Chain A
Amino acid sequence: MNSFHFAWRSLFRQPVRAALAIAGVAAIGALLFDMLLLSQGMLISFRDLLDDGGFDIRILATPSTPISGPRMADAAATAAAVEALPEVDAVVPMRIGQARIVGPDSVNLSLIGAVTSRRDAWTVVEGVDLDDLIGNDDPPMVINRNIAEELTLAPGGTVTIRSECTERYSVLPTVDFVVSGIAEFPFDPVTQMTAAVAMPDFDRACGSVMDEADVFLVATRAGEYPEMAVAAIQRLRPDLHAYSNDQLVDRFQQVGFSYFRQISTVLATITLFFAFLLISVLLTVSVNQRFAEIAALRALGFSRRRIAGDLLWESILMVGTGGLLALPLGLVLAIWLDRILKAMPGIPSDLHFFVLYPAAVILHVALLAAAGALAAAYPVFLASKLPMASTLRNEVVG
């Protein structure tokens, strides 16, 4: 009977105790796994969100986030100049403002104005896009699903909006739009009301032609590196701030997401410590209960290495089984926690806090294995250094 088989039999000699121990490791392992998913989840999800939009560079007036900072003037000329760069395929100037749908069911919404001739920053899921609606007197608008459901709107319906996109006029005239389609906007929070119109219509809603943009969305030409395009844009317009998706992720990692990383690192460390304590206590108690048995095995000629091997395997089995169970348990827990966290206001619905990535599974296994090995060290030391004679004598006397 080898060490593995022996350890298996030793561990499951008391099935209920073994099951409880494994359940404990599984519960702690699930928490550890979730902390690992949380530590990188938002970054991975944010990166996916940026990439899925089809644009790999954002140009802003300042290092601050769009809307919060000043706008860029001469938007059309700037867009044309940037688009003329050999590294760049398309540029979409974008304005973001606030508006209100006028009517019996008044709805506040985010209004996006974009130059849409080359690419869109949204995905039409029902109806047609802005450029595809032909022969209508009113300008087209795409709305998100929340507005469609709130106002029972479908493609072909009309809305009247009053823009609040400038401080220049206290009250702007209303503008009628026809709904060309229902679209998904990648950064929309769950309850967000969003609509998009063509840039000339946005200017019209805002009461004047401003030729400004909050952000330029830039798509790099195929085969070009975004970082090279960023450098070219910076050379062309050093007064503007261009960021590739990688740079944006790095920036948000340092600023926006550092709290989550810190929290997840602290919690993962604490969880790992609890795993170490649990395994260590379980194995130490188990060894203490088996002192006489271990002393007898040593007296029968079992080497210290063999005894240590038996206990190490016992630890591996406990941690391994618990760690494996921790993966599905952790995933279920992550889905549940993700739903709770995503209910926070302002969180894009496609952004996830917990994201499964292969390195998390590898790290989870490595950390639990290290905790198991460290936790086994003391009981292994106890068992291998056990004084045989006095232990056997005390057992008989005791």
Chain B
Amino acid sequence: MSAAVIEATGLTKTFPMPAGPVTALRNVSFSVSPDEYVAVSGPSGCGKSTLLHLLGSVDTATSGTLLFDGRDISTLPDAERSRIRLTQIGFVFQRFYLLPMLTAWENVELPQGEAGVSKPERRARTAELLDYVGLSQRAQHRPSQLSGGEMQRVAIARALANSPRLLLADEPTGELDQSTGEQIAELLDRVHADGNAIVVVTHDPAIAARAKRQLKMRDGEIVAGAPA
């Protein structure tokens, strides 16, 4: 196995609540190698999304370390973590979060512009990605003119825009019907096959089954699938 793209050791996340602190993640350790496709599943409230947010540097752990490419990102200033999210990590959300005032093309182009990619390169990459997800004909459509499945495909193209080393997907089929969900799952398979590391959080056993490695969580802990 090649060096891990991300490596979590003893991650714990506790949320302060009026009734007392709630521990959403307890001492979780695992790593993801560059060619892995990992599915994290478990009942609601078991800490799946919390884990994904920590892996994506969207949130910080109460304790434990998180290495991205061997670098502890939990201690980095916000601007640097933003830069890593922008250029190294792709996010796919359950609710897509495409910007409604932008076209599919602009949504995919936006993170590239923020990363400082030149205009000709952005054009080429955006065209390539929309073609990749099968939406070249819908490039000038706004999210409101797209179906749920199409929106999620645009969201996946956006997540891949800056060629991230890790793709994180939080319930990517949660808002879709079964048939459309399968199409998204197939797209994620293809993304993985093309050499991207993926961590997907899902309730759907069918989606989880497509992953090479499945982690099962309960009460904030990984109860199955984590490597030693």
Assembled-state Cα–Cα distance A396/B53 (Å):
14
User: Which residue of B78, B91, B94, B170 contacts A300 across the interface (Cβ within 8 Å)?
Assistant: B91
Assembled-state Cα–Cα distance A296/B95 (Å):
10
Q: Determine whether B216 belongs to the interface, using a CB cutoff of 8 Å to chain A.
A: no
The answer to whether A389 touches B59 (Cβ under 8 A) is yes
The answer to whether A304 touches B114 (Cβ under 8 A) is no
Q: For residue B80, which residue of chain A has the nearest CB?
A: A303
Q: Determine whether A17 belongs to the interface, using a CB cutoff of 8 Å to chain B.
A: no
Assembled-state Cα–Cα distance A10/B101 (Å):
7
User: Which residue of B50, B79, B83, B97 contacts A389 across the interface (Cβ within 8 Å)?
Assistant: B50
With contacts A302-B86, A388-B53 taken as known, whether A13 is within 8 angstroms of B100 at the C-beta atoms is yes
Assembled-state Cα–Cα distance A301/B115 (Å):
9
Q: Determine whether A395 belongs to the interface, using a CB cutoff of 8 Å to chain B.
A: yes
Q: Determine whether B138 belongs to the interface, using a CB cutoff of 8 Å to chain A.
A: no
Residues of A within 8 Å of B79, CB to CB, are 303-305
Residues of A within 8 Å of B58, CB to CB, are 298-299, 388-389, 392
The answer to whether B97 touches A306 (Cβ under 8 A) is no
The answer to whether A301 touches B171 (Cβ under 8 A) is no
Assembled-state Cα–Cα distance A293/B110 (Å):
14
Interface size class of B (residues with CB under 8 A): 35 or more
Residues of B within 8 Å of A305, CB to CB, are 79
The answer to whether B86 touches A1 (Cβ under 8 A) is no
Interface size on A, residues (CB 8 A): 27
- For B111-147 the 0/1 string (1 means CB < 8 A from A) is 1011100000000000000000000000000000000
Assembled-state Cα–Cα distance A297/B84 (Å):
13
Residues of B within 8 Å of A387, CB to CB, are 59
Assembled-state Cα–Cα distance A297/B83 (Å):
12
Q: Determine whether B106 belongs to the interface, using a CB cutoff of 8 Å to chain A.
A: yes
The answer to whether B85 touches A299 (Cβ under 8 A) is yes
User: Which residue of A13, A293, A301, A390 contacts B111 across the interface (Cβ within 8 Å)?
Assistant: A301
Assembled-state Cα–Cα distance A2/B110 (Å):
9
Residues of B within 8 Å of A383, CB to CB, are none
Q: Determine whether A9 belongs to the interface, using a CB cutoff of 8 Å to chain B.
A: yes
Q: Smallest distance from the beta carbon of A305 to chain B beta carbons, Å?
A: 8
Assembled-state Cα–Cα distance A9/B98 (Å):
14
Residues of A within 8 Å of B159, CB to CB, are 300
Residues of A within 8 Å of B84, CB to CB, are 301
Q: Smallest distance from the beta carbon of B217 to chain A beta carbons, Å?
A: 15
User: Which residue of A1, A2, A9, A299 contacts B56 across the interface (Cβ within 8 Å)?
Assistant: A299
The answer to whether B83 touches A396 (Cβ under 8 A) is no
Q: Determine whether A235 belongs to the interface, using a CB cutoff of 8 Å to chain B.
A: no
Q: Determine whether A118 belongs to the interface, using a CB cutoff of 8 Å to chain B.
A: no
Q: Smallest distance from the beta carbon of A396 to chain B beta carbons, Å?
A: 6
Assembled-state Cα–Cα distance A306/B91 (Å):
18
A-B contact count (CB 8 A): 82
User: Which residue of A12, A293, A300, A389 contacts B53 across the interface (Cβ within 8 Å)?
Assistant: A389
Q: Determine whether A168 belongs to the interface, using a CB cutoff of 8 Å to chain B.
A: no
Residues of B within 8 Å of A21, CB to CB, are none
Residues of B within 8 Å of A390, CB to CB, are 59
Assembled-state Cα–Cα distance A301/B101 (Å):
19
Residues of A within 8 Å of B97, CB to CB, are 292-293, 296
Residues of A within 8 Å of B158, CB to CB, are 300
The answer to whether B53 touches A301 (Cβ under 8 A) is no
The answer to whether A306 touches B101 (Cβ under 8 A) is no
Q: Which residues of chain A from 367 to 398 have any CB-CB distance to chain B below 8 Å in the complex?
A: 387-390, 392-393, 395-396
Among A297, A300, A389: residue with most chain B CB under 10 A: A300
With contacts A300-B85, A389-B58, A389-B59 taken as known, whether A1 is within 8 angstroms of B110 at the C-beta atoms is yes
- For B16-46 the 0/1 string (1 means CB < 8 A from A) is 0000000000000000000000000000000
The answer to whether A306 touches B56 (Cβ under 8 A) is no
Q: Smallest distance from the beta carbon of A395 to chain B beta carbons, Å?
A: 6
Q: Determine whether B102 belongs to the interface, using a CB cutoff of 8 Å to chain A.
A: yes
Assembled-state Cα–Cα distance A12/B100 (Å):
11
Assembled-state Cα–Cα distance A308/B158 (Å):
22
Residues of A within 8 Å of B102, CB to CB, are 1, 9
The answer to whether A1 touches B109 (Cβ under 8 A) is yes
Q: Smallest distance from the beta carbon of A7 to chain B beta carbons, Å?
A: 11
The answer to whether B114 touches A292 (Cβ under 8 A) is no
Q: Smallest distance from the beta carbon of B84 to chain A beta carbons, Å?
A: 8
The answer to whether B110 touches A304 (Cβ under 8 A) is no
Q: For residue B15, which residue of chain A has the nearest CB?
A: A390
Q: Determine whether B82 belongs to the interface, using a CB cutoff of 8 Å to chain A.
A: yes
Q: For residue A14, which residue of chain B has the nearest CB?
A: B101
The answer to whether B111 touches A300 (Cβ under 8 A) is yes
The answer to whether B86 touches A300 (Cβ under 8 A) is yes
Q: For residue B115, which residue of chain A has the nearest CB?
A: A301
Q: Smallest distance from the beta carbon of B187 to chain A beta carbons, Å?
A: 19
Q: For residue A2, which residue of chain B has the nearest CB?
A: B113
With contacts A293-B97, A396-B94 taken as known, whether A301 is within 8 angstroms of B109 at the C-beta atoms is no
Residues of A within 8 Å of B86, CB to CB, are 300-302
Among A2, A12, A296: residue with most chain B CB under 10 A: A296
The answer to whether A304 touches B53 (Cβ under 8 A) is no
Residues of A within 8 Å of B95, CB to CB, are 292, 395-396
User: B residues engaging A (CB < 8 A)?
Assistant: 49-50, 53, 56, 58-59, 78-79, 82-87, 89, 91, 93-95, 97, 99-102, 106, 109-111, 113-115, 158-159, 162, 170-171, 174
- Pick 11 A–B contacts, CB within 8 A, sort by A: A10-B101, A12-B101, A299-B56, A303-B78, A388-B58, A392-B58, A393-B49, A393-B50, A395-B95, A396-B49, A396-B170
User: A residues engaging B (CB < 8 A)?
Assistant: 1-2, 9-10, 12-13, 292-293, 296-306, 387-390, 392-393, 395-396
